[in-house]
Structure 1
Amino acid sequence: MYRILAAIGDDEERALEQARTITGLPGVGPEVSVTLFHDFTDNPEGASVHQVAAVRRAAEHLEDEGVEVGYAESSGAPAEAILETAADIDADLLCLAPRGRSPTGKALFGSVTQQVLLEATRPALVLGAGREKPGSD
């Protein structure tokens, strides 16, 4: 079994792009499982990963393509949680889709993707960040 960890944010279109990219990889099918991971930065109501619209959208596409889907979530330091979850499931590949941020935004607020890439001990697939959206910093 080939295991992929896809870190999913709140953007539904970006999540669907991640799912489409994964199903477009060579050899993706029943022998591939994808764990959809979401980090809650603020979760006072105790929401679950299954309640995140972007996660549901990605899962729908993956399942329609015959890919096994699992779920993981955390609250707190997202980069650390992504790396820990990847180790827990023994992921063969990380799939990240960073938000569009300006260089200033990255300098001020850091970059989860950058930290994951610097600390990861497994391959990572990074989708283009697209255009910066107002208020994305």
Structure 2
Amino acid sequence: MYHVVLGVDEDEAHARQCAQEIADLPGEGSEKHVTIIHSFTDNPSGASATQIASVREAGDLFDEAGIEYAVEESSGDPADAIMELAADIDADLIVVGGRKRSPAGKALFGSVTQTVILNAGRPVMVTGVAKDA
């Protein structure tokens, strides 16, 4: 069994692309297990991660591909939440969506993806979004 942690924000296109890349990994869907994590930085309405459209989008794709998945949620720093979950479940891979940002933007504002890549201590796959998405 190959265990993947998928970090999902509110971007449905990124979630769909990440989920598709996981589905396209070698092996049958039954050989993969995914834990989707969404970290709330602000949640005044008290929503759960399963109510987030991007999380549902990824879950729908996993259902179609026959991939077992679970949904986790946290609050606070998304990069820390992704890395802590991956460590807790001893994930084989972390998958996150990347964004096109200028070098100055990366240096000034940081990035969840960049933090995960540099600090995860396990393989990280970064996906983009297809131009037609």
TM-score by length of 2: 0.91
Structure 1 segments of 4 or more deviating over 3 A?
none
Q: Cα RMSD between the aligned structures? A: 1.5
Structure 1: any 5+ residue segments left out of the alignment? 132-137
User: Is 116-125 or 95-104 further displaced after alignment?
Assistant: 95-104
Shift of 1:129: 6.2
Q: Which residue of 1 aligns with 2:47?
A: 47
Structure of higher RCO (CA pairs closer than 8 Å, 6+ residues apart): 2
Contact 2:13–2:129 (CA under 8 A) maintained in structure 1: no
Is residue 14 of structure 1 aligned with residue 14 of structure 2? yes
Q: Which residue of 2 aligns with 1:110?
A: 110
How many residue pairs get aligned? The number is: 131
Higher helix share: 2
Provide the rounded CA distance (Å) in 2 between the counterparts of 1:75 and 1:130. Answer: 29
TM-score normalised according to structure 1 size: 0.89
Instruction: Specify every segment of 5 or more residues in structure 2 that has no aligned partner in the other structure, as ranges.
Output: none
Q: Deviations over 1:67-126 (max 9, x none)?
A: 001111111111111110111221110001123322222122111111111111111111
Counterpart Cα distance in 1 of 2:129 and 2:120: 19
Partners in 2 of 1:10 and 1:58 — Cα distance? Answer: 11
Match of 1:37 in 2: 37
